[in-house]
Chains A and B, each alone.
Chain A
Amino acid sequence: GQNIDQPTEMTATEGAIVQINCTYQTSGFNGLFWYQQHAGEAPTFLSYNVLDGLEEKGRFSSFLSRSKGYSYLLLKELQMKDSASYLCAVRASGTYKYIFGTGTRLKVLA
């Protein structure tokens, strides 16, 4: 079966660093995506990993370990505007469908 897990909620302080984990068990794998979604809006693309290792993009970094079925999104220098839901999605091989995780609601406190 397909299973993608993330913590439901996290809270962090402005200026801090937060790591959002994602574990997955899928029948096939063709890349892992992270999206940010503000309430009432569509998801916006943050990062993409297909090979093991760390991808860095400004204040956001994403890590992947395919052997462990594990990824994390690292947000540095947190800002209030980072308060949002963060969605992990695995792209299935063959069908190329995206399977979304449960999503993590992040609250950034002043």
Chain B
Amino acid sequence: GAVVSQHPSWVICKSGTSVKIECRSLDFQATTMFWYRQFPKQSLMLMATSNEGSKATYEQGVEKDKFLINHASLTLSTLTVTSAHPEDSSFYICSAQDRGYEQYFGPGTRLTVT
């Protein structure tokens, strides 16, 4: 149990375009999901907390207009990187929180912006 999927697993896009990443909890309902970003040889940095049916809460320094988060159902949250630039190239990981406040991580999405 407690499986979280992400789609796509990797994506290459051109500078200026937008990319959507999906995070799904497959066998449990998650009222809260989290989005992380990880640059090479660095740790996970929390970008935002996604709450079902309400606006996401962004961490300091993360642009909410650039990283759009939608948590439309109890099993799906999406992160859209708008007007992507090469510096947005990173490994994006989501997690879904169960009722016991434990987080289960997705497999990650490798974004490369050319």
Please give the residue numbers on chain A whose beta carbons come within 8 Å of chain B beta carbons, in ascending order: 30, 40-44, 87, 89, 91, 95-103, 105
Determine how close the nearest CB of chain B comes to the CB of A48; give it in whole angstroms.
8
Whether B41 pairs with A91 at a CB distance below 8 angstroms is no
Taking CB as reference atom, which chain A residue is nearest B109? A42
Give B contacts to A, CB under 8 Å: 32, 34, 36, 41-46, 49, 91, 93, 95, 97, 101, 103, 105-108, 110
List 19 extra interface pairs beyond A40-B91, A42-B107, A100-B43, CB under 8 A.
Answer: A40-B110, A42-B105, A42-B106, A42-B108, A43-B44, A43-B93, A87-B44, A96-B32, A96-B97, A97-B34, A97-B46, A98-B34, A99-B46, A100-B44, A100-B45, A100-B46, A102-B43, A103-B42, A105-B41
For B44, list chain A residues within 8 Å (CB): 43, 87, 89, 100
Given A95-B49, A98-B34, are A42 and B93 also a contact pair (CB < 8 Å)?
Answer: yes
